[in-house]
Amino acid sequence: MKRSQKETEDSARAISRRSMVMGGLMLATSGALAARMRYLQVERASDFRLLAEENRINIQLLPPARGLIYDREGRVLANNEQNYTVVMVRENADDVDAVLDRLSRIVRIDMRDLARAREEMMARAPFVPVTIADRLSWEEFASIAVNAPALPGITPEVGLSRIYPFGQDFAHVVGYVGPVSDFYLESTGDTDPVLQIPDFQVGRYAVESHMEQDLRGETGSRRVEVNAAGRVMRELDRTPPTPGKDLQLTVDTGLQNYAQARLTDESASAVVMDVDSGEVLALVSAPSYDPNLFVRGISTAEYGNLTDDPYRPLASKTVQGTYPPGSTFKMITALAGLEAGVIDPEETITCNGSIELGTRRFHCWRRGGHGRMDLVDGLAQSCDVYYYELAQRVGIDAISAMARRFGLGDRHDLPLSGVASGLVPDRDWKRANRGAEWVVGDTLNAAIGQGFVLNSPLQLAVMTSRIATGRAVRPHLVRTVNGIDQRPAQDEDLGIDPDHLAVIREAMWNVTNVRRGTAYSSRTVEEGFEIAGKTGTSQVRSITSEERAAGVTRNEDLPWERRDHALFVGYAPAEAPRYAVSVVVEHGGGGSTVAAPIARDLLLRTMHGTVPPSSAYPVGQRRDMERMHDTMDLLPLDPLNPTGRTRA
């Protein structure tokens, strides 16, 4: 049917409207696409360029070189040595097992190391590098580098590893480093990115641990371009790491080595301090161990040998060990009595070998007694009865207060592990910890350094330094950090009457220089090198009345672990004190026969700066001392070679 003109015109207008609508929609769509393209290509160009670069650019962390540790003379105690390692990134390897198999054909790798590496890779994110083997030889390192195209994901690297040139001599002072463990991360809350670097090591003990933040340094980084297989093509830029700070300690390597050798075959400890500055010159715990074993990975058998040793080589006895101080505590009791005004130095007390207190009898170490004793003789001959009487007059409160003034019961602030506070007991302590009231018998025991009293060798050395100077000498171990002086300000006066200190010093001089003194056999005969000191013997077992009646069993006839501890504290030169020493020999027997000779040798070595000459000893002892020094394992320290020789 033929359309009318009107229908044709209406149809044409409808088509035109549709065309315009469609054209508008197409134009709007084209405009939106153009705007989106402009947004993506112009406004977001930098963002997408970064995403594209991340597909071909890796950012790698660069570990800082750990700060070095030196002794007071500049000898290196903790150094860094070059270490060749091979690491693997799981996401860059097509087939981990196949790559590891090819690697093991190029260099010999222990199957246990391969198993550990596989386990670690599965436990970590795929982009985290994992160490397959370290301490490779140069030939092995070069072989891996040459075969790199056939080892996707494998990268040979050159790093640094810690080494301790003097081995066991400084194990308890410097400590050691070890790998970053999950326990370390949880216990410290440390989030430093450098801890994610394969086999990065942190301080685990002593100075290495307590000065970790100074020694670690700051992480660096580098951007490298990699190909599709993850192989590094070129380095784009680098931010170098900041090395850790170097530490200089106060210890003297020669003296430390001499002391370690002098304590050979003993379970013992020794501390030597400069009484003027408070610097710790030697801090020795015997036996010791080689810290390099922990850096390289100690075996189960080696670790078992250390933990099973009854002499406890892993324990730092100088600061962790606490012992009844025995008669080395008597200076504290004497000073408490003098300061309280309850005793005159010239007043005498008669010692008949024991005293009775209620139903108990308190014995003197000398069974027949000492007779009439004044303060100086009572200390020089270590009369227990004199101090029993004095203790009843002065009381525990004054004794405890005096002990704290001389640094006992104080946790001295040194960067070492497990520094003990010791124990200076009083009424409140016993009530809180034993649920009982203090009794007079407790005071008598405390007065002679027995009962509840416990002190560390470090605390005894501090006590001796304060007696020698009358100042509140504080020990310190770090001399400088990156060359910046760390030594504390001058110590304040203790406020003790100088006349009272003079009496104590006279008595300590008599201990080693008067024939009836308990350490007379350990005297020196060299003018200007005389020693003042005090012996101590602390019981570790109870002696029954039956045993006393039959005769007390000699130490040498007892099992080792039931023998008395031997102690000695002293300073030198006696007329112008410069150095203080404390020596504790576990289950050594008598302080006069075991600890005093060791302390005498350490003070002579400190004053002379070298092996003591035989002329410093009494004539009858010179040949024995020469033989002893000839057999000691001493380092041939060369002042022109401050690194010494390795004991690793």
pLDDT at site 117: 78
Q: How many CB atoms lie within 10 A of CB 25?
A: 10
> DSSP 3-state helix, strand, coil percentages of the chain (rounded to 5)?
45, 20, 35
For the chain, the average pLDDT equals: 88
pLDDT beyond 70 at 33 = yes
Residue carrying structure tokens 């009572």: 378
Hey, what long-range contacts does 226-230 have (CB within 8 A, 24 or more apart)? 226/56, 226/57, 226/58, 227/56, 229/92, 229/152, 230/89, 230/91, 230/92, 230/152, 230/153
pLDDT, mean of residues 278-297: 93
Residue 473 corresponds to which tokens in the numbers above? 């000498």
pLDDT at site 24: 72
Hey, what long-range contacts does 259-265 have (CB within 8 A, 24 or more apart)? 259/284, 259/602, 259/605, 260/168, 260/169, 260/284, 260/286, 260/288, 261/632, 261/633, 261/634, 262/598, 262/601, 262/602, 262/632, 263/585, 263/598, 264/632, 264/633
For the stretch 474-519, pLDDT in tens is: 999 999 999 999 988 878 999 999 999 999 999 999 999 999 999 9
**Calculated CA dihedral for residues 434, 438, 439, 442, nearest 10 degrees:** 70
Amino acid, single-letter form, for residue 279: E
pLDDT at site 116: 78
Nearest to 129 by CA among 199, 182, 188: 199
pLDDT bucket at 55, cuts 50 / 70 / 90: low
Distances (CA, A) of 613 to 338, 616, 627: 39, 6, 12
Amino acid, single-letter form, for residue 138: W
Residues β-bridged to residue 222: 60, 238
Cα–Cα distance measured from residue 381 to residue 400, given in angstroms and rounded to the nearest whole number:
23
pLDDT beyond 70 at 228 = no
pLDDT at site 638: 61
Cα–Cα distance measured from residue 620 to residue 149, given in angstroms and rounded to the nearest whole number:
75
Distances (CA, A) of 244 to 214, 351, 485, 550: 6, 61, 17, 64
pLDDT bucket at 586, cuts 50 / 70 / 90: very high
Rg over alpha carbons for the chain, rounded to the nearest Å, is 37
Just list the catalytic residues.
Answer: 327
Q: Is 423 helix (H, G, I), strand (E, B) or coil?
A: strand
Amino acid, single-letter form, for residue 334: A
pLDDT at site 647: 42
Range scoring the smallest mean pLDDT among 67-71, 118-122, 469-473:
118-122
pLDDT bucket at 32, cuts 50 / 70 / 90: confident
Cα–Cα distance measured from residue 326 to residue 1, given in angstroms and rounded to the nearest whole number:
134
pLDDT at site 648: 39
Q: Is 309 helix (H, G, I), strand (E, B) or coil?
A: coil
pLDDT at site 231: 59
pLDDT, mean of residues 352-373: 92
pLDDT bucket at 640, cuts 50 / 70 / 90: very low
pLDDT beyond 90 at 429 = yes
Range scoring the smallest mean pLDDT among 127-141, 210-224, 226-240:
226-240
Q: For residue 166, give every residue at least 6 positions away whose Cβ sits within 8 Å of its Cβ, in sequence order, or none.
A: 75, 77, 253, 256, 257, 635, 644, 646, 647
Nearest to 148 by CA among 207, 227, 219, 78: 227
Cα–Cα distance measured from residue 137 to residue 226, given in angstroms and rounded to the nearest whole number:
27
Q: Which domains does the chain have, with CATH numbers?
A: 58-246 (3.90.1310.10)
Q: How many CB atoms lie within 10 A of CB 57?
A: 14
Percentage of the chain beyond pLDDT 90 is 60
Q: How far apart are the first and last CA of the chain?
A: 114
pLDDT at site 226: 67
pLDDT at site 160: 80
pLDDT beyond 80 at 620 = yes
pLDDT, mean of residues 5-28: 70
pLDDT beyond 50 at 405 = yes
Q: How many CB atoms lie within 10 A of CB 199?
A: 17
For the stretch 39-52, pLDDT in tens is: 767 776 665 555 45
Q: Is 395 helix (H, G, I), strand (E, B) or coil?
A: helix
For the stretch 132-159, pLDDT in tens is: 777 777 778 788 788 877 788 777 777 7
Report phi then psi at 44, rounded to 5. Answer: -100, 15
DSSP character at residue 533: E
Nearest to 63 by CA among 131, 151, 141, 110: 131
* Residue 157 CB burial class (10 angstroms; 0-12, 13-18, ≥19): middle
pLDDT bucket at 36, cuts 50 / 70 / 90: confident
Q: For residue 261, give every residue at least 6 positions away whose Cβ sits within 8 Å of its Cβ, in sequence order, or none.
A: 632, 633, 634
Q: For residue 95, give every residue at least 6 positions away whose Cβ sits within 8 Å of its Cβ, in sequence order, or none.
A: none
Helix axes 440-447, 384-405, angle to 10 degrees: 80
DSSP character at residue 493: B
pLDDT at site 134: 75
